[in-house]
């Protein structure tokens, strides 16, 4: 029971918050179609990545990365640019398991840097994360104007993360991990299925195309269906909690001129996506809101869904331990980046 509480505290806390906020507001959360689609897409993504792990492909790729140079640099930069194209959540679902399969030390710091890189990279494009997409459409923005506004945030943190990645000293662990033989048929199938899910995220294919992933796993690889249901449950509760928190906070910010700071701080509690939906009702200052919710992705585990994904994948992985120490490191490094980003915003707007 103690081990369950330590590993699944996120599920327990989000569930408790869901219940208490529903009772206090006398409101049962309303789940939108996009939120339910997010849960479905995450489920199919987890299956596809789990299948790739079971096929031995991720282990083989990790072994090749170990033989290369500048491992932290390669992982951080790949995460940054991948998140620009397929969202920060998807980038971490793919990269973090790959990192944890490596036969190296300092994987905890690497995962934290990857979470920072995913949030910073995703901020640069209108489709890098859900809050950017909403701001882009809600305020009817042009791509060049959007990117120019947020580029200093993304590029400064790319530069910082690249420099920090060279500081990390990586060495192989004493006991090398056994490299699994790749099941080529399964690997090819799951690569195709992963591509289908990514195309559905990019709206090239309908979301329902993800059913092909579930169908394949049911027919040929049922163990791939054993994904982290506790994480999916946490997101279900978290979406509901955020809906209740919007009710509680809406009356507090109807006349606020401090959009950037308030949206960054609110994101620490209810995540940056619902914060965006909340503040957009009360402000025309989209530049401050764009900066606020993307800066708010740093800091707490709840700042962005990407943080929760990276954290949960790490603490529940078979090759990791000491979740308390990892949590402390995640928060310390995350809040260092959070306050640095706030300082950057005020510095740029003071010039």
pLDDT in tens, 236-279: 887 788 778 777 766 666 555 588 998 999 889 878 887 887 78
pLDDT greater at residue 117 or residue 227? 117
Question: For the chain, how many structural domains are there in total?
Answer: 1
User: What does the pLDDT average to over 71-99?
Assistant: 86
Mean pLDDT of the chain: 84
* Range with top average pLDDT, 58-62, 64-68, 180-184: 180-184
For 199-236, b/e burial (b = at least 16 CB within 10 A) is ebbeeebebeebebbbebbeeebeebbebbeebbbbbb
State how far the Cα of 117 lies from the Cα of 111, in Å rounded to an integer: 10
pLDDT value, residue 333: 95
Q: Tell me whether residue 4 is in a domain.
A: no
pLDDT value, residue 155: 96
Q: Tell me whether residue 2 is in a domain.
A: no
pLDDT greater at residue 91 or residue 121? 121
pLDDT value, residue 128: 83
pLDDT value, residue 312: 86
* Range with top average pLDDT, 64-73, 134-143, 164-173, 244-253: 134-143
pLDDT value, residue 68: 63
State how far the Cα of 277 lies from the Cα of 131, in Å rounded to an integer: 8
Q: Tell me whether residue 8 is in a domain.
A: no
Q: Tell me whether residue 13 is in a domain.
A: no
pLDDT value, residue 316: 83
pLDDT value, residue 218: 94
User: What does the pLDDT average to over 89-110?
Assistant: 85
Q: For residue 232, give its domain range.
A: 18-23+31-350
pLDDT value, residue 266: 86
Q: Tell me whether residue 10 is in a domain.
A: no
Q: Tell me whether residue 3 is in a domain.
A: no
Q: Tell me whether residue 320 is in a domain.
A: yes
Q: Tell me whether residue 7 is in a domain.
A: no
pLDDT value, residue 192: 93
State how far the Cα of 192 lies from the Cα of 163, in Å rounded to an integer: 35
* Range with top average pLDDT, 100-114, 198-212, 333-347: 333-347
């Amino acid at each position: 029971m103690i081990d369950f509480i330590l590993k699944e505290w996120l599920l327990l806390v989000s569930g408790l918050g869901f219940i208490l906020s529903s009772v206090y507001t006398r409101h049962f959360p309303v789940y939108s179609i996009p939120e339910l689609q997010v849960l479905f897409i995450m489920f199919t993504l987890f299956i596809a990545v789990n299948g790739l792990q079971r096929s031995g492909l991720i282990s083989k790729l990790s072994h090749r990365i170990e033989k290369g140079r500048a491992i932290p640099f390669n992982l951080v930069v790949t995460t940054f640019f991948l998140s620009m194209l397929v969202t920060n959540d998807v980038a971490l679902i793919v990269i973090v398991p790959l990192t944890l399969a490596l036969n190296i030390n300092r994987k905890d710091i690497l995962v934290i840097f990857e979470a920072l890189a995913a949030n910073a990279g995703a901020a640069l494009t209108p489709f890098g994360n859900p809050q950017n997409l909403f701001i882009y459409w809600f305020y009817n923005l042009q791509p060049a104007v959007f990117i120019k506004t947020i580029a200093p945030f993304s590029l400064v943190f790319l530069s910082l993360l690249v420099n920090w990645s060279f500081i990390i000293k990586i060495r192989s662990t004493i006991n090398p991990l056994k490299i699994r033989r790749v099941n080529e048929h399964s690997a090819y199938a799951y690569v195709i299925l992963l591509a289908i899910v990514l195309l559905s995220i990019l709206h090239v294919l309908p979301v329902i195309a993800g059913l092909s992933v579930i169908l394949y796993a049911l027919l040929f690889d049922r163990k791939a269906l054993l994904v982290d249901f506790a994480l999916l449950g946490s997101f279900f509760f978290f979406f509901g909690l955020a809906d209740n928190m919007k009710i509680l906070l809406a009356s507090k910010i109807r006349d606020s001129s401090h959009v950037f700071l308030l949206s960054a701080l609110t994101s620490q509690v209810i995540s940056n996506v619902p914060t965006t939906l909340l503040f957009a009702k009360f402000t025309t200052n989209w530049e401050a809101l764009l900066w606020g919710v993307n800066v708010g992705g740093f800091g707490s585990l709840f700042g962005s869904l990407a943080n929760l994904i990276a954290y949960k994948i790490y603490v529940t992985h078979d090759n990791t331990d000491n979740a308390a120490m990892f949590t402390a490191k995640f928060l310390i490094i995350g809040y260092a980046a959070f306050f640095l980003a706030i300082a950057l915003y005020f510095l740029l707007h003071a010039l």
